[in-house]
Amino acid sequence: MTLTTLLLLAAALIGIGIYGALSQQSFVMLMMGLELILNGVMLAAVAFWAFSGAGAPEGQLLTIIVMAVMAIEMAMGFALVVAVFRGKQADMTESLTGLKH
Amino acid sequence: MESMNHGLGVDIAFLLLATLAVVTGWRVFRTDSMVRASFFLLVSFIAVGVIMILLAAEYLGVAMFFMMAVEMTVMALFMVMFMMNPAGLNPMNMVHQERIAIGAGVAGFLILGAMALLAIFPDQPVPAGLEPVRSLGNEMLGDSMLIFESAGLVLLTTMIGVVVLSSHRGRYGAAAEGSMPPGLEPGGDPAGKPEEDEEGEGGHHHHHH
């Protein structure tokens, strides 16, 4: 377990997350992709804190802030899913055509 | 390369957990069942949480377990509520622009991986006497209190925003007004009747001469 292997794992999680966020048609699956990206970000932050930051507490604080971002993303995402479902009776990204030119 | 010394057991555990995190993270987008997808994501998060504990960030690792267990349960519930096929009884793969997405994902991994392999990061491990939980607590309620409290305020704002967004009363009238189910095929007829408003729209019009 070195900084390099940890960052490679974080990069793999972020890469899978990017794929999911860009490819999924269902909003909830799309949010799962975003969650995976943040998962990798948190792992990278903790890895830097443990190996490169000399134990500076701000490194852990950054992870807490990313967790808060994740909670906000989930809550706003679900609210938007509910709003879209009310209007379109589907949770597919394709059903949102209102802003198409 | 690193001066933090740990046993072989930690390395083996890390290898297994890393594999688990990546494989379950990948399976999220490769399973037919939406509920199973959210539990795969949960496993991926828990594996990362255990790695955090291996890195001596106990508080963050345990916080990750609790947060993700609740979040993924909520996610599974939403799946059941909104998806046509939550149980995965039929094979399903709902994707768009898949080639671009694969390219972007691979590019993201390669760029970040190259940074991990090629960049030179300072070698400053956690000092031996440091208590991670105590130092985090002192930071959150000491120097960085304003940041920590702002996160709480933003969460409160989020709660208000979420209630506004998901309200039955939309911004321009009833949220479900004129709502039509999507067609069974793209551009096809709606797959059912439009949802009736339980109040009855007729009554409203009479009052607005």
Give the tens place of pLDDT for each residue, A9-43. 999 999 999 999 999 888 888 899 999 999 999 99
Contact call for A50 and B56, based on CB within 8 A: yes
Contact call for B166 and A82, based on CB within 8 A: yes
Contact call for B75 and A28, based on CB within 8 A: yes
| Alpha-carbon distance B69 to nearest alpha carbon in chain A (angstroms) | 12
pLDDT digits (tens, 9 = 90+) for B34-79: 788 889 999 999 999 999 999 988 899 999 999 889 988 888 888 7
| Alpha-carbon distance A88 to nearest alpha carbon in chain B (angstroms) | 6
Beta bridge pairs of residue B190: B183
* Calpha distance B25→B29 (Å, rounded): 8
Tokens of B68: 């993700």
Contact call for B2 and A81, based on CB within 8 A: no
Q: Where are the alpha helices (DSSP H) in chain A?
A: 3-23, 27-51, 57-88
Cβ neighbours of A91 in B, within 8 Å? 82-83
Burial label for B126, CB within 10 Å (0-12, 13-18, 19+), is: buried
Specify the higher pLDDT residue, B153 or B187.
B153
Question: Among candidates B200, B177, B83, B185, which has minimal Cα distance to A87?
Answer: B177
Tokens of B51: 């790695």
Tell me the one-letter amino acid at A67.
M
Contact call for B44 and A36, based on CB within 8 A: yes
Give the confidence band of A85 by pLDDT, cuts at 50, 70, 90.
confident
Which of B126, B169, B197 is the best mutation test for A, with the most CBs of A within 10 A?
A: B126
Beta bridge pairs of residue B95: A24
* Calpha distance B160→B173 (Å, rounded): 19
Position B44 scores a pLDDT of 94
Q: Is B154 helix (H, G, I), strand (E, B) or coil?
A: helix
How many residues are given for chain A?
101
Q: Go through B58-94 and write b for each residue having 16 or more CB atoms within 10 A of its CB, e for each that does not.
A: ebbbebbbebbeebbeebbebbeebbeebeeeeeeeb
Q: Where are the domains of chain B?
A: 1-98, 132-165
ipTM: 0.91
* Calpha distance B201→B208 (Å, rounded): 12
Tokens of B189: 């007829």
Tokens of A84: 């879209």
- Structural domains of chain A, with CATH: 3-90 (1.10.287.3510)
